[in-house]
Amino acid sequence: MSSKITINGRTIVVEGAASSISVVGNKVTIGGKVIAEDLSGVVQIRWEGPLASLTCDSEITCGDVQGDVHAGNSVNCKNVKGSVHAENCVDCGDVGGSVHAENCVYRK
């Protein structure tokens, strides 16, 4: 199985199951492997395929997530099978684990 990640218009095919995606600082890692770095300004990322877990030091907008979501700002997503942690607000569907938000929680 493969998935695709598009970072600022550049598409990379990811073979196999991606255990986790991390967007922290100026780096994007998938399963611990750096796939993009030295990013600056507004970084736009689009993921196509099943999403295991996601960590980002800014805001996250995503579809369904099979694991956990951790954001340095707000989280706006569909259903999350794991837990959700946001430094600002959480707006999501069903959550299988816990939800922690510093400011507000909305449920779809």
Q: What's this model's pTM, rounded to 2 decimal places?
A: 0.81
Average pLDDT score over residue span 35-53: 83
Tens-digit pLDDT profile for residues 62-76: 888 989 999 999 999
Tens-digit pLDDT profile for residues 52-105: 889 998 888 888 898 999 999 999 999 999 999 999 999 999 999 999 999 988
Between the CA atoms of 25, 64, 80 and 61, what dihedral angle is there, to the nearest 10 degrees? 40
Phi, psi of 30 (to 5 degrees): -125, 120
Residue with tokens 């099943």: 50
| Structural domain that includes position 75 | 2-107
Q: How far apart are CA 40 and CA 36, in angstroms?
A: 11
Give every CB contact of residue 42 below 8 A, 6+ residues apart in sequence: none
Q: How far apart are CA 86 and CA 98, in angstroms?
A: 11
What is the maximal distance between C-alpha atoms in the chain?
A: 38
* pLDDT confidence of residue 102: 92
Residue 49 has pLDDT above 80, yes or no: no
* pLDDT confidence of residue 17: 65
**Domain count of the fold of the chain:** 1
